[in-house]
Amino acid sequence: MTREYTQITVIGDDKTGIVAKFTTLLFERGINIEDIDQAVRDGIFRMTLHADTAGMVCTKDTLREALADLGAEMDVDVQVRFPADRETKRIAVLATQESHCLEALFGAWANDELDAEISVVIANHDDLQPLAERYDVPFYDVGDEKGSPDEDELIDLLEEYDVDLVVLARYMRILSPNVVFRYEDRIINIHPSLLPSFPGAAAYRQAKEEGVRIAGVTAHYVTTDLDQGPVITQRAFDVPDDASLDELKTRGQPLEAEALLEAVKLHLDDAVTVHRGRTSLRDGVDERDYKLGLGDIGNPDRPVDGLGKALSATTDATDDSTDDDSDDSTDADTDADAEAEATTPSN
């Protein structure tokens, strides 16, 4: 029988009996739970179920209704995502004031490089509204005069547009567990450092102050721990000795857009999986189809640590040298040459 993995997410205040109630409901309808994960952060409870609904003894609409009724009874929000709900996935882009990452996403979408549609742009300032309007994408400013976002409005918009993926295109705010838990492993952020180095704010400034010779950017899944989510893609660049902060940003921003765009494509292609806080390519995915990091830059392949191999290589080289000697060389000549070589200072 073909398996159909359906994701069910439950979010609400932490209380007794939530897990038992929902798992019982699924069991009674012939649904096998393949994976269950739960967590509590800042008083917010989250449970994510992956269930095989291929053999369930009810319709999808009936299951949705039953889950919604139980959610209302337990005063929790319930999201159900069937594998074939729709062919085209929907992206919500969260932004602040910097345009380069949003431009890259729009450009790829306009050129049919994304297997999804950008359904909405949500920001905490209105600076990028003209860019969204150019591509005829709805734009919402959910920030106050200081840029502090209204997360309730943000959540309502994400639900209204029924998004499959949330992309933080230099969104300069931290998402609370109430948002992250609802879209776990479905929020991708771009951070301007080679994580885990320099997490948090002002990453380029941190890199300059520490005097690093190589800096970079990281696209990663968002978790409730700041800038510690599973890494998807990275890019790096050299830092000149006298580089200014503006020069670091100039070098890094194109790579931010590139790494974020590739991470989004990997997610949409279902090419990566997350397990125990790390991403890996799924079976059958050809690594050569993606850059992931620096790509093929011709790294040297010697020397490689390993005393046995090193000694073997030395022996082979000596044997080859001996084979090339003239047949009328004597053992005494060889010993004399070796002694002379041993007493000659090295350069």
Q: Which residues are catalytic?
A: 227
- Considering Cα of 152, then 102, then 170, then 38, what sign does the dihedral take? positive
DSSP state of 96: -
Measure the CA–CA gap between 79 and 68, rounded to whole angstroms: 9
Helix axes of 203-210 and 245-268: crossing angle, nearest 10 degrees: 130
Residue 20, H or E segment: helix 18-28
CA 13 to chain centre: 28
| Amino acid identity for residue 233 in this structure | T
Residue with token string 């069937």: 82
**Residue 345, φ and ψ in degrees, nearest 5:** -60, 140
Paired with 257 in beta bridges are none
* Tokens of residue 25, six digits: 């409901």
| List of long-range contacts for 296-299, beta carbons under 8 Å, 24+ apart | none
* Tokens of residue 95, six digits: 């932004």
* Distances in whole angstroms, Cα of residue 143 to Cα of each of 137, 169, 291: 18, 16, 35
Residue with token string 């008083």: 43
